[in-house]
C-alpha cells in the first residue's frame, strides 16, 4: 500500500528511477560508500599535514630565545621555515580536502598551501607555545 502511494506521488519518471535503484542498489550504495570513504580519508590526510606543520613550527619557535607570546604571525613567519614538502611526503594518502569540501584534490605543494594558510599555521603554533609556557611556569604559593 505504501509503495503504491509512493509510486503515485513520483509519477512515471520517478517510478522508473525507483525501479532502477531497486535493481542496482548494491552497486549504487557501494559507489556512494567508496566515495564517502575517499572524502573522509582526504579530510584526515589534510588534518594530519596541518598537525605536523604546526608541531614543526612550534618546535622551531621553542628554539627562538627572544620570542614573546604576543608576536604577530607575520613576524613569526620571517623567523621560521615551513617544511611543506616534508609534511606532504610523510603522508601516504595522495588526496587532501577540507572538511567542508566534497571534492578531494591531489596533495601537491600548491594545493596544500592554498588549503592551509601560513599565517593560520603560525598562529596555531604561537598558541601551542603560549600554552606550553604557561604550563611550565611555577604556581605561586
Report the pLDDT value the prediction gives residue 4, as an integer from 0 to 100.
84
Distance CA(93)–CA(98), nearest Å, equals 14
pLDDT in tens, 58-75: 888 888 777 776 778 888
β-bridge mates for residue 105, sequence order: 96
Q: Is 95 helix (H, G, I), strand (E, B) or coil?
A: strand
**Which candidate, 89, 1, 110, places its Cα nearest to that of 45?**
89
Spell out the domain ranges in the chain. 41-133
C-alpha cell at 47: 588534518
pLDDT of 133 > 70? The answer is: no
C-alpha cell at 112: 596544500
Measured between alpha carbons, how far is residue 16 from residues 7, 10, 29, 32 in Å?
9, 9, 18, 20
DSSP state of 63: T
Please state the rounded mean pLDDT for residues 95-104.
93
Report the pLDDT value the prediction gives residue 65, as an integer from 0 to 100.
74
Please give the model's pTM, rounded to 2 decimal places. 0.81
Distance CA(83)–CA(44), nearest Å, equals 19
pLDDT in tens, 19-59: 999 999 999 999 999 999 999 999 999 999 999 999 999 88
Q: What percent of the chain has pLDDT over 70?
A: 92
Amino acid at each position: 500500500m505504501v509503495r503504491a502511494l509512493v509510486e503515485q506521488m513520483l509519477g512515471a519518471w520517478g517510478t522508473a528511477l525507483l525501479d532502477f535503484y531497486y535493481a542496482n542498489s548494491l552497486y549504487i550504495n557501494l559507489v556512494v560508500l567508496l566515495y564517502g570513504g575517499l572524502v573522509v580519508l582526504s579530510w584526515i590526510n589534510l588534518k594530519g599535514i596541518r598537525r605536523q606543520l604546526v608541531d614543526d613550527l612550534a618546535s622551531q619557535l621553542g628554539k627562538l630565545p627572544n620570542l614573546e607570546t604576543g608576536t604577530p604571525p607575520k613576524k613569526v613567519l620571517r623567523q621560521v621555515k615551513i617544511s611543506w614538502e616534508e609534511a606532504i611526503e610523510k603522508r601516504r594518502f595522495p588526496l587532501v580536502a577540507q572538511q567542508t569540501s566534497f571534492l578531494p584534490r591531489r596533495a601537491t605543494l600548491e594545493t596544500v598551501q592554498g588549503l592551509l594558510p601560513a599565517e593560520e599555521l603560525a598562529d596555531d603554533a604561537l598558541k601551542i607555545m603560549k600554552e606550553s609556557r604557561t604550563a611550565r611556569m611555577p604556581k605561586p604559593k
